[in-house]
Structure 1
Amino acid sequence: LNYSMDMLKNLIDFATMAEPLMKSSVPQVIQSLDDLEQNNVFKIADISIQTLKKIGKTYTEEEFQQIGDGLVRLTGLLRDLTSPESLDLLEKAARLPGAVDLDAAKPVGPFSMLGAMSDAKVKEGMGVLLELAKGLPAMKKS
């Protein structure tokens, strides 16, 4: 009985000491959780978990290990692609398919290629293509 009374006294002392801390920290925790909810962090976490479940059902452990290794390399690639010049090029390249009518493309022979070179846009496009071609040898295995 003495032990129980001591424990009850300790619990009361703890509650008395913790009350001021709880009064200030609980509203802060609630505010932090509200901020997370307002910024859709919980929705993103839920979607991420659902996606991971789908991945877990779809791929074997070995396949997922390979995907993980690939993601590490892709992360390095993303680092390289985030330079302003790379992003500008990628944005322009992404808009290109919507800016041209590929259905209007016709077969081209040597003479029609020569004739197309009188078009300023074709000349400029060939210039861009040649500049890109200069960088292609870097893709060869050394």
Structure 2
Amino acid sequence: MTNEELILQRLEAMEERIAFLHERAMGTKYFIEEVTPIGNHAFRLMVEELQDVHGRVHLDDIFELLRRGLRSVPNLNYCLDQLENLIDLWRTMHPAVAPTWPHIIEGLGKWEQDGVFAKLSALKGAGGKVLDANTPEGIEKMGDALAFMTVLLQKLADPNVQVFLARAVDMLAKLDLSQAKPVGMFGMVGALGSKEAKEGLGVAMEVLKALGALKGDGCCACGCAAHAPAKND
């Protein structure tokens, strides 16, 4: 190979390198031309934001934030650990909860159609009115009264008491006061000769005996602790 051929070969290699460098330079130029407007806009925006916080945030505040952030790393790690535990718990419960969730939604919708939530809201409003209309001492007395009424309601569960009340109500329903006529002494004696009058008189005597038992020490017969007679030491 002659010197002229070597020189031409080296010139071709140099041209290839120059073309490669020129291509890189043009790519960098295009990149700068594209990025420069974005950089200028970002710089102006940053300057505007810094002007907005000027006088409110100082360099000491930033350092304090960094220090507190570094000190809070254990707490952040703890929070992340608890979050992972919650995620694991949800992944464990999800297969069991997911099938029942539509049924829960359906049940809540049925309650809404039946007016359960409206009734609960009304009950809440009524409770609020009761609380507003009474003092703490009055509410405490109401609690004592409710406890007393609970004891009475328990006694109403006795079948004998229920039968007696049912018969009494039926008797009052059948009673026709328009048929009542004035009765004198002899008429009363004559009326007492009937079987029904004698049975009624017997019932009245039993009621009178029960009423007499109320006199005693003046205590009710409910047997509750609040009305129990005091024991002598």
CA distance in 1, matches of 2:216, 2:110: 50
The answer for unaligned runs of 5 or more in structure 1 is none
**2:200 paired residue among 108, 111, 125:** 125
One of 128, 136, 146 as aligned partner of 1:71: 146
Give, in angstroms, the shift of residue 95 of structure 1.
2.5
Query: Which stretch has the larger CA shift, 124-133 or 51-60?
Result: 51-60
TM-aligned CA distance change 1:70 to 1:114, over 3 Å: same
Relative to the length of structure 2, the TM-score reads 0.45
Is structure 2 residue 72 aligned with structure 1 residue 27? no
Q: Aligned match of 1:136 in 192, 204, 211? A: 211
Ranked by relative contact order (alpha carbons within 8 Å, sequence separation 6 or more), the top structure is 2
Output the amino acid matched with 2:150.
T
Q: Of 14, 17, 32, which aligns to 2:87?
A: 14
Compute the displacement of 1:137 (Å).
2.5
The residue aligned with 1:86 is 161
Task: Deviation per CA, 1:92-141: give whole Å up to 9, x if none.
Answer: 22233221122443444432210211333222211221222232222123
Q: 34-43 or 49-58, which moves further after superposition?
A: 34-43
The alpha carbon displacement at 1:57 in A equals 4.5
Question: TM-score, normalising length from structure 1?
Answer: 0.68
RMSD over aligned CA atoms reads 3.5
How far has the Cα of 1:78 moved from its partner?
1.0
Report percent identity of matched pairs.
31
* Structural mapping, 1:46-61, within 5 Å: 46-61=121-136
Q: Structure 2: give runs of 5+ residues left out of the alignment.
A: 1-75, 218-233
User: Quick check: 1:110 aligned with 2:110?
Assistant: no
Secondary structure at the counterpart of residue 141 of structure 1: coil
2:176 to 88, 98, 101: 101
Residues 103, 137 of structure 1: alpha-carbon distance in 2 compared, 3 angstrom cutoff: same
Which residue does 2:44 correspond to in 1?
none
| Separation in 2, partners of 1:65, 1:105 | 47
